Amino acid sequence: MPKKIVIKFKEEKMPKDIVEEVPQLEPEVSTIETEAKLQEKPPESIVPPKDLEVSIVKEAFDRYDALMSKIQEVKIREQIFQKMLLEQDISIATIREVLARWNAMREQIVGESASLVEKINAAKSKLETEFSNIETELCISIVELDTLKYKESSNVSVPQELKASLEAKVTILRQELSEKKKKIRELEEMARTISELPKKIYSLTTYTELADKLYEELKEKHGAKFGPRVDESLQKNIETIVQSKGIPREYAIILIWKEAQASSVS
- 66-102 pLDDT, tens per residue? 999 999 999 999 999 999 999 999 999 999 999 999 9
Q: Are residues 158 and 254 in the same domain?
A: no
pLDDT of 9 > 80? The answer is no
Q: Are residues 191 and 235 in the same domain?
A: no
What percent of the chain shows pLDDT beyond 70? 79
The residue among 61, 102, 59 whose CA lies nearest residue 80 is: 102
Highest mean pLDDT: which of 32-46, 189-203, 217-231?
Answer: 189-203
pTM confidence score: 0.70
Q: Are residues 162 and 234 in the same domain?
A: no
Q: Are residues 154 and 245 in the same domain?
A: no
Q: Residue 54 — pLDDT band, cuts 50, 70, 90?
A: low
Q: Are residues 203 and 215 in the same domain?
A: no
Q: Residue 21 — pLDDT band, cuts 50, 70, 90?
A: very low
Q: Cα dihedral sign for 249, 251, 254, 260?
A: negative
Q: Are residues 53 and 155 in the same domain?
A: yes
Among 178, 207, 236, identify where a domain stops: 207
Question: Could you tell me which residue, 26 or 239, shows the higher pLDDT?
Answer: 239
What's the whole-number mean pLDDT along residues 145-149? Answer: 92
Question: Could you tell me which residue, 11 or 111, shows the higher pLDDT?
Answer: 111
Distance CA 262, CA 266 (A): 6
Tell me how crowded residue 91 is: count the other CB atoms within 10 A of its CB: 8
Q: Are residues 111 and 234 in the same domain?
A: no
Q: Which domain holds residue 250?
A: 208-266
- Residue 156, classified by CB atoms within 10 Å of its CB into exposed (0-12), middle (13-18) or buried (19+), is exposed
Q: Are residues 82 and 203 in the same domain?
A: yes
Q: Are residues 92 and 172 in the same domain?
A: yes
pLDDT in tens, 159-198: 999 999 999 999 999 999 999 999 999 999 999 999 999 9
Tell me how crowded residue 255 is: count the other CB atoms within 10 A of its CB: 18
Residue 34 falls within a domain, yes or no?
Answer: no
Distance CA 102, CA 262 (A): 29
Q: Are residues 118 and 131 in the same domain?
A: yes
Q: Residue 65 — pLDDT band, cuts 50, 70, 90?
A: very high
Residue 17 falls within a domain, yes or no?
Answer: no
